[in-house]
Each structure stands twice: as C-alpha cells, then as structure tokens.
Amino acid sequence: MKVVALAGGFGGARFARALAESDAELTVIGNVGDDEEILGLHISPDLDSILYALAGIGDEERGWGRADETWNALDTVGALGGDTWFQLGDRDLGLHLLRTQALRKGEPLSSITARFARALGVDATVLPATDDELRTHVETPAGDFPFQEWYVGRRHEDEVTGVRYEGDAKAAPGVVEALANADLIAISPSNPYLSIGPILAVHGIRKAIESRRVPSVAVSPLIGGRTVKGPADRMLERFAGGTSPTHVAAVYEGLIDRLVIDEADAGEGDHIVTRTLMSDEAARRTLAGAVLEAAAVPR
Ligand code: FO1
C-alpha cells in the first residue's frame, strides 16, 4: 500500500519511522518552515529528524539531532565568542556542511534530500514540501519571531497569537504526484499550525489532498488533551477553541476522513482509538496498524 505521510517536528519523525517499519510503501513530505541559517549553514531540522529517525541514527530522547553526539565544534564556536543558542553537534554538522555546499552550487533541496536518504540507507522516499523558501513566523505579545528564534532561542515560552508562513512556494517535484498516486494519506501527530500548516501552505498541496480519491487520516498530537512535547495543546486551545478530538478534527476539515486518537481521549465521535504514544517498537507497530486500517474506511 502506498502511504504518503505529512510530517514535521518530533511527532513527525517518530511517525515516519512507525510507518517505515510497517509494510507500507512510504513517501514522507517534510516541513521546511522551520529551516534556518545558522553559522552560515542551511539547517532543515524536520527533514533531518525524519532522515535520522528512518536511518535509526537519531537521538530518540532529545527528538532532534544524532545519537552519540559530541559538541566539540560548538564548544569552539562558544570559546571564540560565537552564537551557540542553536546547538549543532559534530556528527550533525557534517550533513549541514554538505547540504549548504550543494545548495550554493544550485542543487535543489529535494535532490539533496534524496541523495542523503540513499546514502543513509533509507528506503522510504523523503521529499521536502517545497524547494522554494518558505518560513514560519510566530507572532507573540513580545513581537514577531522567525520560528527557531522563538522555539529554541526563546524556549517557545511566549504565547502564540498568530502564525505566518512567508514565501510563495510551489510543491517540490514528486510531492503532488505522490499525493495523487497514494492509497492512503496520513497526517502525523505533529503540531497542526507549526508543522503541518507550512506544508499545507505550499501551492498545490492542500488542493491535492482536498481533491483526493483515497482515504486520509490524521493522528491527533494530543494524549489526554495535552501534547507530548511542544505547544500544540496551548495553540489548539487558542485557535481551535479546545483540545478535544472534535477540535483537532475541525482543524483538518476537508483534509481527513478519520482521526486516530489516543485511548485517553476516547469518548464521543467516530474516531479510531489506539495507543498513540510511540515509546518503543511495539507501540510504533500498534499505531501504524491503526493508521493503515483507515485505508479501509469508506470515503
Ligand atoms: N531544538 C532545541 O530545542 N534546541 C536546539 O539547540 C536545537 C538544535 C537543533 C539542531 C539541528 C536540528 O536538526 C534540530 C535542532 N533542534 C533544536 C530541534 C528543532 O529546532 C525543532 O525541534 C524543530 O524545528 C521543531 O519542529
């Protein structure tokens, strides 16, 4: 079964891994709204978290960067008076150096990502939502911030009063085609506004999902009305009016046929109920199974 997953953030990478471990033929469309230039290097945190998770080399506890990381380069940056607010590990840096070099030579992000996936032994197809510049900006009472400045620099403590996606981005090669040829579309348990929103803001992607002929399912990022990590619960409260499955489903109106929710949120509504916390391989298998079941749900 051809499954196309929209993924961003911590939940997106774990979810991609869960689907990759199933027998689905997987394409992951990754968020690039979080991309940032740090120390002269182009960083694509969500694409990297997806690649690292699929290659089994990511730091599972931290949720970003490489396992067994060391920080010698960053220590040097700090010792020489440079900015260290955004932590780049030594192993991780190698990838950023190569990607930045390739981008400067004019290679599109999608092509670079495909090369890295192959080199890391990743079987799934990993596509950035766009090769164009698309950046998420967060509006808060303390001002407007580029995503990473708010998320990492200010520890995502400021209340989010608005989210903007800047850039006139068209879908990367293969993205709309993958959605058109999918047997199932799956939206990760990621922040709907910060991780999935930027993907849907890319020209052609929302329309491709709205006009689908196959089932589409989202996994709620909430467990017992709270997020595992990050501010999705606070943002759903503010922008959707609550944190129930009904509120989550409403955010994806027209884009999904079913919502997968955690047992802790079971109650009203025609949702698929399972354990959604991807704490280990067995848990990932359970969630992937529940998502693939949605393929049988009539549209
Ligand atoms: N997140 C942090 O909270 N602090 C960091 O210093 C940090 C560095 C970092 C480096 C590379 C990378 O791929 C991701 C990194 N992240 C860091 C995570 C990242 O900024 C966010 O988790 C995602 O953008 C959220 O989707």
Give the separation between CA 82 and CA 169, rounded to whole angstroms.
32
Residue 294 Cα to ligand 1 midpoint, Å, equals 31
Whether pTM > 0.85 for this model: the answer is yes
Residue with tokens 């002929």: 213
Cα end-to-end span (Å), the chain: 17
| Residue 235 structure tokens | 């943002």
Residue 299 pLDDT > 70: no
The alpha carbon of 222 is separated from its chain's Cα centroid by a whole number of angstroms, namely: 15
CB of 9 shorter than 6 A to ligand 1:
yes
Sheet (strand 272-274) strand order: 125-128, 25-30, 2-7, 184-187, 216-219, 258-262, 272-274
CB of 215 shorter than 6 A to ligand 1:
no
Tell me the per-residue pLDDT of 177-222, one tens digit each, with 9 for 90 and over.
999 999 999 999 999 999 999 999 999 999 999 999 999 999 999 9
| pLDDT at 228 (0 to 100) | 87
| pLDDT at 59 (0 to 100) | 97
Question: Can you tell me which atom of ligand 1 is nearest the CA of 87?
Answer: 6
| pLDDT at 296 (0 to 100) | 81
Please state, for a pLDDT cut of 90, what percent of the chain lies above it.
95
Tell me the per-residue pLDDT of 226-251, one tens digit each, with 9 for 90 and over.
998 889 999 999 999 999 999 999 99
For residues 155-173, average pLDDT:
97
Q: What are phi and psi of 38, to 5 degrees?
A: -125, 130
Residue 140 pLDDT > 70: yes
Domains and CATH numbers, the chain: 2-66+92-135+172-296 (3.40.50.10680)
